[in-house]
Structure 1
């Protein structure tokens, strides 16, 4: 019980730090940096690695969820406020009321992203555990697919890629490289080797 819990807490803390770090990347004055900070594909990798580190599927799911939700909390932590002016409250409002209101507003603000993080954290935590035990092609493709699909989905959705093209080419290259690496780690019978 200690090892799975320690891994869960470690990856949760790592998720919060990762989220906080990438929240500092988006800079509206530099479109390239903005899109690097807002890629969705890397958010699948941390719960995958978290799940891969666990020995049971239940701990893998829980740890993946904790890591991804912690990422969201870390990413949006800068939006927490107890400032009366920002909350539309008078300066004489008691501190406890400001803290409770600020936290409630923040939780409402990040709720959609927490729901997505819950789903991806659970899913990719389980996929990481599955990869650890089976080296399945499906599990390997599932973790690299977002790197390849995201630029294509933006192109289909908007008709163009937001931000500079080279940023999206790098994401595609990372996805392709990760796919090659995952394929090289598959457990296939000798006659089915790729």
Structure 2
């Protein structure tokens, strides 16, 4: 498998980043959903949020790299069997997925740094607060984070269902291209 995308195939870097982001998004959502039910005396009360914040910051770095990679390495052309509506819907869904990921990460950062403290990423490095202390910011950012993450996982789920539809019903290479197993040898 080639490293870079070609006109008809995704390369190893794009495929790897796609699946890494997918696992991170659903993992962060699951961890966040579980964390809100923890009590103050639970052993994971501090550990869960620390992991959530650390993975979120690392995901931000991966997404920034993903945007740079996309600029220098455009995605393959749509399959000839895709209608114009499908192509436009895919572009719109991808744009919205990217936007929701960044909104979720920025709002999560604002929740964690609203008191002026920094975020420690697995004790490897610190990400400082850029806002300082802003009263009530964590509440507003919390609402944005809550709704953007729900929208993100619903849209990502629909994205996955669309890929399965292309695979099982349309019997095209849409899903295979993102798995690196498409039938075409371009």
TM-score normalised over the length of structure 1: 0.30
By percentage of residues, which structure has more helix?
Answer: 1
